[in-house]
Structure 1
Amino acid sequence: MTAYVIAKVKATGDEEELAEYRAQVQATLEPYGGRYLVRGGAVEVLEGDPEPGRIVVLEFPDAETARAWNDSPEYQRIAPLRIRNTDSDRLIVTGL
């Protein structure tokens, strides 16, 4: 069943490191069949946090593959760039 990695990301640190992360993350997705459905863009808040930050939605063939991407050496090599420069909420959701 298709799975989605959904992230809510607020930049808090070095913009150069975040730009480096964004430039490299796409290549980590491709071997796992991952693709962006949403990467930033306008957000209209209907309920909750009035400043949700950047919203990202990634699609993967299934939850196992999404976890494999997240845990992969390729992604883990660049993840610290995001972790130290953002406040992030990330989750995997299975669905249609």
Structure 2
Amino acid sequence: MSAYVIGLIDVHDPEGYPTYSQQVPATLEPYGGQFLVRGGQPEALEGEAPGRVVVIAFPSAEQARAWYESEGYKRIRPLRQQMATGQLVLVRGVDTPS
């Protein structure tokens, strides 16, 4: 079953943030991860919108978790944590009939 990592991110260092964000795609490849949403200017329909919303699709929750815990992502994760705050959540997708 597919799974998604959803990030609600507030960037505090917009000049430095690309140092992190440009390295993420290479860490996703081995785990089948693909960006579905990657950007700023979200529109709040209820509550307050974060500065950025990120949605990454994975073939399974196990692969999503393996990516998050991988050496490649562990190496760059502190960059995000230094330049931004927010939440990352892992959610499972819905099985749809074929």
TM-score if structure 2 supplies the norm length? Answer: 0.90
- Counterpart in the other structure of 1:30: 29
Q: Unpaired segments of 5 or more residues in structure 1?
A: none
Shift in Å, 1:94 = 0.3
Distance 2:14 2:8 in 1: 18
Amino acid at match of 2:68: N
CA root-mean-square deviation: 1.2
Equivalenced residue count is 94
Distance 1:89 1:22 in 2: 16
Q: Unpaired segments of 5 or more residues in structure 2?
A: none
Distance 1:84 1:36 in 2: 22
Please state whether the residue corresponding to 1:47 is helix, strand or coil.
coil
Equivalence map 1:1-12=2 (5 Å): 1-12=1-12
Q: Identity of paired residues, percent?
A: 51
Distance 1:13 1:43 in 2: 18
Distance 1:22 1:44 in 2: 21
Distance 1:32 1:9 in 2: 22
Shift in Å, 1:38 = 0.1
Distance 2:43 2:7 in 1: 16
Equivalence map 1:50-65=2 (5 Å): 51-65=49-63
Distance 2:15 2:79 in 1: 10
Deviates more, 1:23-32 or 1:38-47: 38-47
